[in-house]
Structure formats: structure tokens, C-alpha cells
């Protein structure tokens, strides 16, 4: 005894709609994946290549009318820029914010800066550094 085949004859009816949908989804997925990869690469390049100045807060000493902030700045030789530092009170309110410039040919600068505050500050936070 033989069993009847449930498959359609090859090439007789063309592709099924599921095969067309699968192929379309694969093409759309490949295009979107390539676009996402390109976008991530572009943002990554600009983040790394354009960062000509960076810094970190080494320590800080709070006071009644100011906060002494020890910054370590790393930059390209000849690049001028500034770093923005802020201080907050115990309740979280911002009590001081200032930009500090870093010029010259040195590639590493250790500097203690004074951030004046409107009331006693309990923190010192580096918000970012920019060239220019």
C-alpha cells in the first residue's frame, strides 16, 4: 500500500505566499540591520574622534561660600577648551555652576579650581568638557 503525497508538484503553482513574505522580511531585516550598524558606527566614530578634551574630578573640599575642586584634564596639545563644574546643596538644589578654561600646549593638566556657591555646597560634579 502507498500513501498519498500532500505536497504540491514542484514548479506547478509558483511560490506560496508564505515564501514571498519570508523573503521580503529577510530583505527588510537585512537593510534595517545594515542601517543600524552604520548609525552606531557613525555615532561611535564621532564620540571617540571628536573628544579632544576630557577631565575628571579627583577630589573636592566643600566650604560655606565655595567648593575647591581638584580637576585632572587631558587634551590634545594646542587644544583650547573649558569644563563645566557644578555644586549642589544637601537638599539637591544647585548652588553653583561655572566654566573653567584650559589653554596651552600641555596635554595633562592638574588644577585646583574654586567654584563659588550661593550657599554651602556638598557636592562637586563635572558636567562635561568642550573644545573652543
- Three-state SS string across the chain, please? CCCCCCCCCCCCCCCCHHHHHHHHHHHHHHHHHHHHHHHHHHHHHHHHHCCCEEEEEEEEEECCCEEEEEEEEEECCCCCEEEEEEEECCCCCEEEEEEEEECCCCCEEEEEEEEECCCCCCCCEEEEEEEC
Q: Which of 11-20, 77-86, 106-115 has the lowest mean pLDDT?
A: 11-20
Q: Taking residues 13-37, report their average pLDDT.
A: 83
Strand-by-strand arrangement of the 81-88 sheet: 94-102, 81-88, 125-131
Mean pLDDT of the chain: 86
pLDDT value of residue 113: 93
Domain boundaries, the chain: 13-50, 53-131
Residue 66 has pLDDT above 60, yes or no: yes
Mean pLDDT of 92-104: 92
* Distance separating alpha carbons of residues 61 and 94, to the nearest angstrom: 16
- The arithmetic mean of pLDDT across residues 60-72, rounded, is 93
Report the candidate in 66, 69, 60 with the shortest Cα–Cα distance to residue 120: 66
Residue 9 has what pLDDT? 66
Q: How much is the average pLDDT of 12-17?
A: 64
What per-residue confidence (pLDDT) applies to 50? 63
CATH of domain 53-131: 2.60.40
Amino acid at each position: 500500500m502507498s500513501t498519498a503525497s500532500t505536497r504540491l508538484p514542484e514548479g506547478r503553482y509558483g511560490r506560496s505566499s508564505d515564501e514571498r513574505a519570508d523573503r521580503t522580511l529577510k530583505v527588510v531585516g537585512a537593510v534595517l540591520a545594515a542601517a543600524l550598524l552604520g548609525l552606531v558606527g557613525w555615532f561611535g566614530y564621532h564620540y571617540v574622534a571628536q573628544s579632544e578634551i576630557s577631565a575628571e574630578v579627583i577630589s573636592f573640599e566643600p566650604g560655606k561660600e565655595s567648593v575647591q575642586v581638584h580637576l585632572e584634564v587631558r587634551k590634545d596639545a594646542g587644544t583650547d577648551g573649558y569644563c563645566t563644574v557644578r555644586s549642589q546643596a544637601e537638599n539637591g538644589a544647585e548652588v553653583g555652576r561655572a566654566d573653567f578654561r584650559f589653554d596651552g600646549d600641555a596635554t595633562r593638566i592638574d588644577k585646583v579650581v574654586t567654584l563659588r556657591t550661593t550657599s554651602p555646597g556638598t557636592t562637586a560634579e563635572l558636567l562635561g568638557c568642550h573644545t573652543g
